Every structure is written in structure tokens, then in C-alpha cells.
């Protein structure tokens, strides 16, 4: 059996293609990062996990990956249309602090979250506000090439002109005539645009706008889609290997990215477009605005109406990996509880290796397990099938332990290494939840303890008891002393 080469489902062609990097062994990977105006919810985490697996597996295959994941700290407007308030500024006004304080606060929180879920850091994490010059230069090139026009201090991408020569809609499969129907309601302020599908690449700032910059067209703000084009070009070149993001970014964000790169450089920027599917709740996309989202803290404490109990970040990681990234995952307590059990079983089977005695007779099964795992990961990062193969192997490991099967010491160490590599390096699971980050756990516990204190002060003893009891279930004991509350993890 051959495990073959890596193939990736390319959203641009709509089929799986053999992965052939533009400049092997180097691989450029760009992932649209968070808009840092609030805390990342579990749905966002699923998407970032998808690309964490892509990064880990490519690295495992020996590629030298440059992984760029941006921070959107300006330009992302409420409702994603060209005429609205900046999401970060809106939040800053609500919290009565500087937009950059919002940016810092939620960038820090995002980093805590990525550590909690054991997501590897990108090699470069560029911020949109740090690349205004590059964005202005790109606008200038698009204007020079005739694919944009200036109106009253704003610059719009000329979709109609672009579509005369290129295929606008090639990624999302949308046709301009269909778009007209869908965007009718969003035409507010559209009188500046020559064509309904044109999009702002530079927006004139109103006097109240706080974050704004000087440009050849006056004081304004770059359009949201532009930052990813400018920063991916800067760090990965005009054409790079993989661009990822959630499915909901295909249109308009990624479609516009292609148009901007083609409009400025004349080159379609990405060889493989990858899109992760959504985390849903009762079939609807998890999103903050629908009120069906939960945050890492709520997940850990179980303090949310949708949660029967708290779940560890590794349980959630494992739960997500039990679905292929292109399928939706519907949240359910039952599935999370099954993942909790499954993960325990997988991790405890790895511990069994140290108890197995080698012999002088081996089994072909070792090779078979290894080849099957490679094959499934090579098949567009199919983690659920890979996990199923790892579980098949557990039966064999148990037989070895019971001395009903035997392996030479060499094969035993190959199998053990295989499990460790797949479970810890590729799937990124942690053997011991405490490994996640002791500092994070302390931070999280501080928040939990203050929540409990607040509920006691409000005489909401049901909540304070709930917090204590739920922590007990995950082996964390709280001790109330006259100097405050301390906590301890039972070993
Ligand atoms: P944002 O911070 O809103 O720009 O989103 C960050 C990333 O999370 C984007 O790639 C989105 O596509 C993705 N995302 C948003 N909601 C969900 C969801 N419910 N499930 C999976 N990914 C999501
Ligand atoms: Zn982007």
C-alpha cells in the first residue's frame, strides 16, 4: 500500500490537487487572522485550528513553511459593507478607551486563547495598521493600471472594468448578475460607486474617525480586503502557495483579494485556496451576533446555557479534529463528552508502551498503521480518518500489553514514535492538560475566582457553588481563607 503524496482540496478549482509548492522546500502559508475587537469564540478557534494542522503537517513533511497570520486592527467595518463604522472604533467608543487599547487587549486575549488550544504561533503576525504605506502603494498600482477610480477622497475598485478582462467570481462562483440581487439592500451610500459590486480600497475618513491616515487622496482608512493582499505580497511574494480562512471569507473578502492582486501585479496571488467549514449550533453558524457563541472561559467553566458542563481545551481540540475541516461541525454536549472519553483512551494507550515487553517476533501491522495514517493525512489533511486508524492501533497495543501479540524492540519503538509524532506533533494534542500553559491556567483561575467572588457578593450562591463543584469535577479544589481564595490541582 502506498501512502502517496499530499493532495489539497483547492477551492479555486473545486477539486483535490497534488501539492506541488512553487519553490520547494519553501512553502508560503497565509491565514486571515482575527479582527481584534472582541474575544475569539469557539468557531474562530476551529478555523485557526484547521490551519494549525496544515502548518504542523507540512512541517512534519519537511517543508520550510513561512506561516503568516495577520491581525486586523483597522478597516473591518460593521456588517462588512463599505459604509459603516469600524468594528474596533465602535468597541472603543462603547468601552470609552482608545482603539489601540482595544486592539492590544484583544490581541493579548487572542494569544492566550491560541496557547490554551496549543495552536502554534505563526512566523509573522503583521498588523494592518503597521502596513498602511504598503496598502497605499498597492492602491496606487491598481489606480495606475486602470482598475480603480477616485471619488471624493475615496478609492473604489472598478469591478466592471476588471471583469472585462478577468474572471471576477472565479473563487466564490458568484456571477455579477446574481450579486446584484443579493446586494440590493446594501447599497446605502452607494451613490459614489459606479457599479454596485465595486468595493472601497480607500475610504475617506469622517471627522469623528479616530484611526485615519494621510494619503494621496486625502485623510482616510484602507479597505478591509486590502490589508491581506498587501501583507501577503510583502511577506510571501506576488504568488504564494496556500491561503486559508473560514468558508465565510470566500466572498467577498478572498474574491476581492484576488482582484486586488491581479489588478496591481497582474498575477493571481495564490496557488491553493483552502477554506475551513463552520462550527454550527443547531445548524446555524456560531457567531457573536446570533448570541449562540461561547468563549474559551465559558467552555472551561461550563458557565453557559448551552453547556452541560465544562470541557478542557484539549477535549475541544480533539472534538474538532474528529471532523474533516471541510465539513461543518455541529456543537453538542454528547459529542464533546464522547471526545473527552476518546481522548483519554488515546492518551492512556500511549502510556502502555512503556509496559510492553519486546520479543523476537514482529507483526506487519506496524507498517500498516503507519501507512494508513500517512495516507489519510495526505488526503487533504483528513484528521478523522487518521484518528480512526490510531484507534484501530490501540486494539493492537492492548494485545501487545496482554502478550497476545508481539513486536521486536525496534518495531516497538517505531510504533511508539509513530503514536507520539501523530498525537503530539501533528494533531497537536497535549499529554497532560497542565502542559497547555501553567500561566494561562493561573490567569484563567484568577478570572474564575473573581467570578465566584462576585456571585457571592450578589448572594447568588447557586452560581458560586456551581463554580466550586464544577472545578472539583476537573480536580481543581478551591480553598477559602481569610486572605482570599486559593486553588490547587489534585495530582
Ligand atoms: P473574524 O475575527 O471575524 O475576522 O474571524 C476570524 C476567522 O474565524 C475567520 O477565518 C472566519 O471565517 C472564522 N469564523 C468565524 N465564525 C466561524 C464559525 N462559526 N466557525 C468556524 N470559523 C469561523
Ligand atoms: Zn484576509
Tell me which ligand sits closest to the C-alpha of residue 323. 1
Q: What is the pLDDT of residue 1?
A: 46
Partnered with residue 69 across adjacent β-strands are: 31
Q: What is the pLDDT of residue 427?
A: 98
Q: Which of 71, 248, 273, 320 to mutate to test the pocket of ligand 1 (most atoms within 8 A of CB)?
A: 248
Any ligand 1 atom below 6 A from CB of 368: no
Tell me which residue has its CA closest to atom 8 in ligand 1. 44
Ligand 1 center–CA 107 separation, angstroms: 15
Any ligand 1 atom below 6 A from CB of 38: no
Any ligand 1 atom below 6 A from CB of 281: no
Ligand 2 center–CA 460 separation, angstroms: 43
130 in helix, strand or coil?
A: helix
Distance CA 149, CA 229 (A): 18
Q: What is the pLDDT of residue 249?
A: 96
Any ligand 1 atom below 6 A from CB of 253: no
Any ligand 1 atom below 6 A from CB of 138: no
Q: With contact defined as beta carbons under 8 Å apart, do 113 and 40 qualify? A: yes
Q: With contact defined as beta carbons under 8 Å apart, do 429 and 118 qualify? A: yes
Distance CA 426, CA 169 (A): 34
Distance CA 235, CA 233 (A): 6
Any ligand 1 atom below 6 A from CB of 47: yes
With CA atoms as reference, report the closest residue to 430 among 280, 327, 316. 316
Ligand 1 center–CA 243 separation, angstroms: 15
Any ligand 1 atom below 6 A from CB of 32: yes
Ligand 1 center–CA 246 separation, angstroms: 6
User: Helix, strand, coil % (nearest 5) of the chain?
Assistant: 50, 15, 35
Q: With contact defined as beta carbons under 8 Å apart, do 260 and 225 qualify? A: yes
Q: Compute CA distances 33 → 40, 51, 485, whole Å.
A: 10, 11, 37
**What domains appear along the chain, each with residue ranges and CATH number?**
7-276 (3.40.50.620), 280-426 (1.10.730), 440-489 (no CATH)
Task: Going residue by residue through the chain, which has 491 residues, state the pLDDT in tens, using 9 for 90 and above.
Answer: 457 899 999 999 999 999 999 999 999 999 999 999 999 999 999 999 999 999 999 999 999 999 999 999 987 776 656 667 788 988 888 889 999 999 999 999 999 999 999 999 999 999 999 999 999 999 999 999 999 999 999 999 999 999 999 999 999 998 887 766 655 445 545 678 999 899 999 999 999 899 999 999 999 999 989 999 999 999 999 999 999 999 999 999 999 999 999 999 999 999 999 999 999 999 999 998 788 998 988 999 898 899 999 999 999 999 999 999 999 999 999 999 999 999 999 999 999 999 999 999 999 999 999 999 999 999 999 999 999 999 999 999 999 999 999 999 999 999 999 999 999 999 999 997 655 455 567 778 888 888 998 898 889 998 999 999 888 888 788 888 877 888 877 65
Which residues make Cβ contacts (< 8 Å) with residue 146, sequence separation at least 6?
A: 158, 161
Distance CA 85, CA 100 (A): 16
Determine the atom of ligand 1 nearest the C-alpha atom of 47. 22
Any ligand 1 atom below 6 A from CB of 274: no
With CA atoms as reference, report the closest residue to 53 among 3, 143, 120. 120
The enclosing H or E element of 151 equals strand 148-151
Distance CA 138, CA 135 (A): 5
Q: What is the pLDDT of residue 185?
A: 46
Amino acid at each position: 500500500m502506498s501512502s502517496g503524496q499530499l493532495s489539497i482540496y483547492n477551492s479555486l478549482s473545486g477539486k483535490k490537487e497534488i501539492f506541488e509548492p512553487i519553490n520547494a522546500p519553501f512553502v508560503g502559508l497565509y491565514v486571515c487572522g482575527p479582527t481584534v475587537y472582541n474575544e475569539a469564540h469557539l468557531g474562530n478557534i476551529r478555523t485557526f485550528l484547521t490551519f494549525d494542522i496544515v502548518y504542523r503537517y507540512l512541517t512534519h513533511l519537511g517543508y520550510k513553511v513561512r506561516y503568516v497570520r495577520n491581525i486586523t486592527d483597522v478597516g473591518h467595518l460593521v456588517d462588512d459593507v463599505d459604509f459603516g463604522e469600524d468594528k474596533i472604533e465602535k468597541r472603543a467608543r462603547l468601552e470609552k478607551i482608545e482603539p489601540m487599547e482595544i486592539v492590544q487587549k484583544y490581541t493579548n486575549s487572542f494569544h492566550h486563547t491560541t496557547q490554551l488550544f496549543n495552536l502554534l504561533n505563526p512566523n509573522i503576525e503583521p498588523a494592518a495598521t503597521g502596513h498602511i504605506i504598503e496598502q497605499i502603494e498597492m492602491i496606487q498600482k491598481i489606480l495606475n493600471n486602470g482598475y480603480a477610480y477616485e471619488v471624493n477622497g475615496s478609492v473604489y475598485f472598478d469591478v466592471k472594468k476588471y471583469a472585462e478582462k478577468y474572471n471576477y467570481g472565479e473563487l466564490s462562483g458568484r456571477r455579477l448578475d446574481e450579486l446584484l440581487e443579493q446586494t440590493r439592500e446594501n447599497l446605502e451610500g452607494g451613490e459614489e460607486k459606479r457599479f454596485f459590486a465595486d468595493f472601497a480600497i480607500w475610504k475617506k475618513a469622517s471627522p469623528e474617525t479616530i484611526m485615519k491616515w494621510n494619503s494621496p487622496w486625502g485623510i482616510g482608512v484602507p479597505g478591509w480586503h486590502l490589508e491581506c493582499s498587501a501583507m501577503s505580497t510583502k511577506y510571501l511574494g506576488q504568488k504564494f502557495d496556500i491561503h486559508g480562512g473560514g468558508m465565510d471569507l470566500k466572498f467577498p473578502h478572498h474574491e476581492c483579494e484576488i482582484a486586488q492582486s491581479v489588478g496591481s501585479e497582474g498575477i493571481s496571488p495564490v496557488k491553493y485556496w483552502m477554506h475551513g467549514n463552520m462550527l454550527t449550533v443547531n445548524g446555524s453558524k456560531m457567531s457573536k451576533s446570533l448570541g449562540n457563541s461561547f468563549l474559551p472561559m465559558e467552555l472551561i467553566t461550563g458557565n453557559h446555557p448551552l453547556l452541560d458542563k465544562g470541557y478542557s481545551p484539549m477535549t475541544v481540540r480533539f472534538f474538532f479534529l474528529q471532523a474533516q475541516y471541510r465539513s461543518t461541525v455541529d456543537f453538542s454536549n454528547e459529542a464533546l463528552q464522547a471526545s473527552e472519553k476518546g481522548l483519554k483512551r488515546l492518551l492512556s494507550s500511549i502510556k502502555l508502551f512503556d509496559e510492553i515487553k519486546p520479543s523476537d517476533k514482529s507483526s506487519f501491522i506496524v507498517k500498516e498503521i503507519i501507512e494508513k495514517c500517512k495516507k489519510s493525512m495526505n488526503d487533504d489533511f483528513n484528521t478523522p480518518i487518521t484518528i480512526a486508524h490510531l484507534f484501530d492501533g490501540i486494539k493492537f497495543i492492548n494485545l501487545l500489553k496482554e502478550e497476545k501479540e508481539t513486536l521486536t524492540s525496534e518495531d516497538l519503538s517505531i510504533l511508539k514514535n509513530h503514536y507520539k509524532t501523530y498525537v503530539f506533533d501533528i494533531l497537536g494534542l497535549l499529554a497532560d492538560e497542565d502542559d497547555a500553559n501553567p500561566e494561562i491556567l493561573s490567569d484563567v483561575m484568577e478570572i474564575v475566582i473573581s467570578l465566584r467572588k462576585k456571585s457571592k457578593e450578589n448572594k447568588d450562591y447557586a452560581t458560586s457553588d456551581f463554580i466550586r463543584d464544577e472545578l472539583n469535577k476537573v480536580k481543581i479544589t478551591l480553598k477559602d481563607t481569610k486572605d482570599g481564595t486559593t486553588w490547587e490541582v489534585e495530582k
